[in-house]
Amino acid sequence: AQKVTQAQTEISVVEKEDVTLDCVYETRDTTYYLFWYKQPPSGELVFLIRRNSFDEQNEISGRYSWNFQKSTSSFNFTITASQVVDSAVYFCALSDIRQGAQKLVFGQGTRLTINP
């Protein structure tokens, strides 16, 4: 069975600090996709990134970067020079690649608070 674990329930940092959100996953599939979603205080779920299991290159988008390591089944998310607007709950999720894939399995979420 697929499982995603976000061990950090809550993180609180001061603005401009760097922060890393951990995500560890379990799957028996050899091919799969990993996702990160952001849920700001307004409540909607915002897609941030998708990464397939064949591509272990790290990705950077502005202040955001993602580190995918298949050897440790981890897909960590780092925010550099954090800002108050980054305060949100962040979810890591896993999906298989087979046709007709039925669901996205989510982690428990990490609540990130950036203090001014």
Partner 1 sequence: EAQVTQNPRYLITVTGKKLTVTCSQNMNHEYMSWYRQDPGLGLRQIYYSMNVEVTDKGDVPEGYKVSRKEKRNFPLILESPSPNQTSLYFCASKMGQTHSGANVLTFGAGSRLTVL
Residues that bind partner 1 (CB under 8 A): 4, 6, 9, 32-33, 35, 43-45, 47, 50, 52, 91, 95-104, 106-109
- Closest CB to partner 1 among 74 and 80? 74
Q: How far is the CB of 32 from partner 1 (least distance, A)?
A: 7
Q: How far is the CB of 81 from partner 1 (least distance, A)?
A: 27
Structure tokens at 99: 């046709």
Say how far apart CA 93 and CA 36 lie, in whole Å: 6
- Closest CB to partner 1 among 57 and 102? 102
- Closest CB to partner 1 among 14 and 46? 46
Q: What per-residue string of b and e applies to 68-106 under the rule 16 or more CB within 10 Å gives b?
A: beeeebbbbbbbeebeeebbbbbbbbbbbeeeeeeeebe
Structure tokens at 97: 């690649």
Q: How far is the CB of 87 from partner 1 (least distance, A)?
A: 17
